[in-house]
Structure 1
Amino acid sequence: MKQLVILAGGKGTRLKDRLGDLPKPMIPIAGKPLLQHQIELAGAHGFGEVLLFVHHRADLIQEHFGQGSRFALPIRYITEKEPLGTAGAVLAGFDQLADRFVVMYGDTMMNVDLTRLWSAHEQSGADATLFLHPNNHPLDSDLVETNAEGWVTTFHNRPHAAGQFFRNLVNAGLYVIEKCALEPWSHDRKLMDFGKDLFPALLNRNAKLFGYNSPEFIKDIGTPDRYDWVCAQYEAGIVQRSSLATPQRVVFLDRDGTLVKEVSAQGLHRIEDLELLPGVSAAVHELNQTGLRAVMITNQPVVAKGFCTEEELQQIHNKLETLLGREHAFLDRIYYCPHHPEKGFPGERPELKIECKCRKPEPGMVLEAQRDLNIDLANSWFIGDTTTDVQTARNAGVKSILVRTGHGGADRKHDVAPDFVFESLPEAVQFIAARSTETSGE
């Protein structure tokens, strides 16, 4: 049986003008309580029980949901006598937990493919799986670092020191947890937070924490501005389309010459040389706001040629994400090819000097993204500054846009014409966003 644990004890002090005397999880979105959206989502994904941790005005929650009969989903309640934090509350109900369970925060609106999340956790063999995503304010968010296989290695809690560049990967407050992993704390009755206390403690015990990176919609409604934004996103249909159970529309973005300035003939391999092109942050932000996925696809032969390591390239991309984040923009995913077929460079890495299926114009990175994100290729786009990008789009079956920044198509490596041409990324994105709005009927 799949069990869902929801932490529904919040008062919603900052939302008092909207809530009145209602508990925070009962705030209405599209005519029904936020908590009801969560419970119905669980029912749609085959969960067998909901365990609600309640505190403020628990009577109103119990009156509305009862024992769950009208949702065909049994609901049980645990009343918190005093606030113990997110992890502390769950540990206080340790005896009521299933062997494996999902934790949701009662102030987050979401549309997540919970079946896919549950399966990823099972396949990973993790002690806990954390739902991670990029957001539009990483500089004041708690960030998570994972290795190439997706295992959590470090937590970077805010505030972040100036001059540090981290990946835009945020703990969204949705977890799958093995009960046995919590056994060492099963008798604790103290204030404890999942992100700041329990998960770092699990890492210190060499527990396996898996980072499930997904662009699906999940947003807390803890302030009036956030609440209004979530309501607007729901009204626009963006929340409903965000689950990876629904095919996603994506705008694939080349990096050099499209997002960032071209540098030397050797390629960008020093972090200090990275500079965004004018208007790029605003353009990516516009994609984020319209619900289109922004996915970067880039050849990076600087790794194969020995000009920089994978770790140094990651730092370059961390800086890119930080610069975008300063302007409330984010990339949903980054894919790069480290290979290069031509040999003869001093310091090159022979193991990466190969013919591969990921180097553009081969469609390998696009197809990998399609598998990861359930992409509707026929309704997706590729924006780049070279004929290689245009050929990649054609090979992958997506529409192409050539921009006049960077090479502006002057590379002439492929005899192929783009579907559209614009001066820059902002113009291309405005065109796509307008077409997307017409198509979706928003």
Structure 2
Amino acid sequence: MRSSAVPQKAVILVGGEGTRLRPLTNGIPKPMMPVLNRPFLEHTIAYLRQCGIDFTILALSYLPEVIQAHFGDGSKLGVQLAYAVEHSPLGTAGAVKNAERYLDSTFVVLNGDIFTNLDLADMFAFHRRKGAKATIALTYVDNPCAFGVVETDDVGRVRRFVEKPKPDQVPSNWINAGIYILEPETLEHVPADRHYMFENGLFPLLLELGEPVYGYRFRGYWLDMGTPEKYLCLNCDLLSLKEKSALISGLSKDGIYCDGDVTIHPSAQIVGPAIIASRCQIGRKVHIKGPVVMGPGCSIADEASLEEVVLWRGVNIGAGAILKQCVIGDEAEVEARAQLINRVLPPRLS
């Protein structure tokens, strides 16, 4: 999918506090949450690089120093990174306005909690062919009532936006996918240093002004990982190869991937897919059924059972405990013989 026919720069909106993901985001920025044991934001940056975009601006607000310390100048990921830090939340459009000094040509904007395989080169070709000032990626959902719905005409030009319509007032099943291609002059309409949104601010204003705003429909993979359920789903989808990450290659459908210093008792049973990170210890008669992701330094005591779970760093699972469809944060402990079904345990804050 790598192509030179894409905008040269992208802005990723990673300033939110991740309130829908609490308690997992207590003390950790949402973009740093591990997906297959790598920060989610690394997957997004790798996707953009695969598409041909090597210069990315990160729009930060919540715990910016954590993200800056991890990513630095981006050279470890083979990209160039710049930062636009908000002293108070500026909203989606306001955050991009805050990065305006970097944006001197057509650029891409992505919401920081979206995982997708959208072909940006094809979307950019659509944008140029239509002569658009703004192009909004649209994804199809069966029930659009919880989303911002975008109504377009026969050639894709946006007619109107309907936020979270009632079931009997749904004009379309195509929703705003949180991915945009914009011309830099659109930012002239965004006020500086104040909270302002794309969804109910800039985009409706551009329509009022008669500017060409288009919707680009695609039916590929799209997931908003902004809730614990969707976060778990993303990990499972990637491990099960329902979708691939540009960051990680070489996975197989039922593979079991262990770092070299993992200790596994001979009586333990592991059915993939599973990723087991360094220093993990798996005890006697433990049963693991994938998809399962275990972060570094996890300990699974004797006769525990795990199915469809994501464990972060340093998690301790007691003897005989049963976990299914769970996400367990850093350093958390699960008592012996506990039964956790569809549960989330927050990280233990130091």
How far residue 138 of structure 1 moved from its aligned partner, in angstroms, is 0.8
Give the letter aligned to residue 105 of structure 2: D
What TM-score results when the alignment is normalised by the length of structure 2?
Answer: 0.65
> In the alignment, is the contact (CA less than 8 A) between 1:128 and 1:209 conserved in 2?
yes
Equivalent residue in structure 1 for 2:95, among 83, 89, 97:
89
Equivalent residue in structure 2 for 1:240, among 230, 233, 244:
244
* Cα distance in 2 between the residues matched to 1:20 and 1:241: 26
> In the alignment, is the contact (CA less than 8 A) between 1:10 and 1:25 conserved in 2?
no
User: Which structure 2 residues correspond to residues 211-290 of structure 1 after superposition, within 5 A?
Assistant: 211-240=215-244
* Cα distance in 1 between the residues matched to 2:139 and 2:173: 8
Task: Show the counterpart of 2:54.
Answer: 48
Number of aligned residues? 240
Give the letter aligned to residue 144 of structure 1: V
Task: Show the counterpart of 2:115.
Answer: 109
Map Cα deviations across residues 181-220 of structure 1 (whole Å, 9 max, x no partner): 22233x4332211111110011000011111000122222
* Cα distance in 2 between the residues matched to 1:161 and 1:172: 19
How far residue 60 of structure 1 moved from its aligned partner, in angstroms, is 1.4
Equivalent residue in structure 1 for 2:200, among 191, 196, 200:
196
Map Cα deviations across residues 36-83 of structure 1 (whole Å, 9 max, x no partner): 111001111111310011111211111211101112211001111000
Equivalent residue in structure 2 for 1:2, among 4, 8, 23:
8
Give the letter aligned to residue 125 of structure 1: G
Task: Show the counterpart of 1:126.
Answer: 132
* Cα distance in 2 between the residues matched to 1:41 and 1:161: 35
Map Cα deviations across residues 5-41 of structure 1 (whole Å, 9 max, x no partner): 0111122133233344210111111121111111001
> In the alignment, is the contact (CA less than 8 A) between 2:238 and 2:245 conserved in 1?
no
User: Which structure 2 residues correspond to residues 136-147 of structure 1 after superposition, within 5 A?
Assistant: 136-147=142-153
Higher radius of gyration, 1 or 2: 1
> In the alignment, is the contact (CA less than 8 A) between 1:121 and 1:176 conserved in 2?
yes
> In the alignment, is the contact (CA less than 8 A) between 1:101 and 1:176 conserved in 2?
yes
Cα 1:14–1:133 change in 2 (3 A) is closer
How far residue 96 of structure 1 moved from its aligned partner, in angstroms, is 2.2
5+ residue gaps, structure 1: 243-442
* Cα distance in 1 between the residues matched to 2:245 and 2:220: 9
Task: Show the counterpart of 2:177.
Answer: 172
> In the alignment, is the contact (CA less than 8 A) between 1:3 and 1:98 conserved in 2?
no
Give the letter aligned to residue 240 of structure 1: K
Give the letter aligned to residue 82 of structure 1: S
How far residue 121 of structure 1 moved from its aligned partner, in angstroms, is 1.4
Map Cα deviations across residues 250-285 of structure 1 (whole Å, 9 max, x no partner): xxxxxxxxxxxxxxxxxxxxxxxxxxxxxxxxxxxx
Corresponding residue SS for 1:119: helix
* Cα distance in 2 between the residues matched to 1:92 and 1:20: 26
Equivalent residue in structure 1 for 2:18, among 12, 19, 27:
12
The answer to which structure has the higher helix fraction is: 1
Map Cα deviations across residues 361-416 of structure 1 (whole Å, 9 max, x no partner): xxxxxxxxxxxxxxxxxxxxxxxxxxxxxxxxxxxxxxxxxxxxxxxxxxxxxxxx
Task: Show the counterpart of 2:29.
Answer: 23
5+ residue gaps, structure 2: 1-6, 247-350
User: Which structure 2 residues correspond to residues 402-421 of structure 1 after superposition, within 5 A?
Assistant: none
* Cα distance in 1 between the residues matched to 2:117 and 2:204: 27
* Cα distance in 2 between the residues matched to 1:165 and 1:176: 25
* Cα distance in 2 between the residues matched to 1:13 and 1:139: 20
Give the letter aligned to residue 240 of structure 2: A
* Cα distance in 2 between the residues matched to 1:42 and 1:130: 17
User: Which structure 2 residues correspond to residues 361-376 of structure 1 after superposition, within 5 A?
Assistant: none
Give the letter aligned to residue 175 of structure 2: V
The answer to which structure has the higher strand fraction is: 2
Give the letter aligned to residue 30 of structure 1: L
Corresponding residue SS for 2:244: helix
* Cα distance in 2 between the residues matched to 1:98 and 1:28: 33
What TM-score results when the alignment is normalised by the length of structure 1?
Answer: 0.52
> In the alignment, is the contact (CA less than 8 A) between 1:54 and 1:77 conserved in 2?
yes
Corresponding residue SS for 1:17: coil
Task: Show the counterpart of 2:155.
Answer: 149
* Cα distance in 1 between the residues matched to 2:162 and 2:124: 25
* Cα distance in 2 between the residues matched to 1:34 and 1:49: 18
> In the alignment, is the contact (CA less than 8 A) between 1:143 and 1:156 conserved in 2?
yes
* Cα distance in 2 between the residues matched to 1:162 and 1:22: 36
* Cα distance in 1 between the residues matched to 2:161 and 2:236: 32
Give the letter aligned to residue 179 of structure 1: P
Q: How large is the RMSD of aligned CA atoms in angstroms?
A: 1.9
* Cα distance in 2 between the residues matched to 1:3 and 1:233: 28
Give the letter aligned to residue 196 of structure 2: M
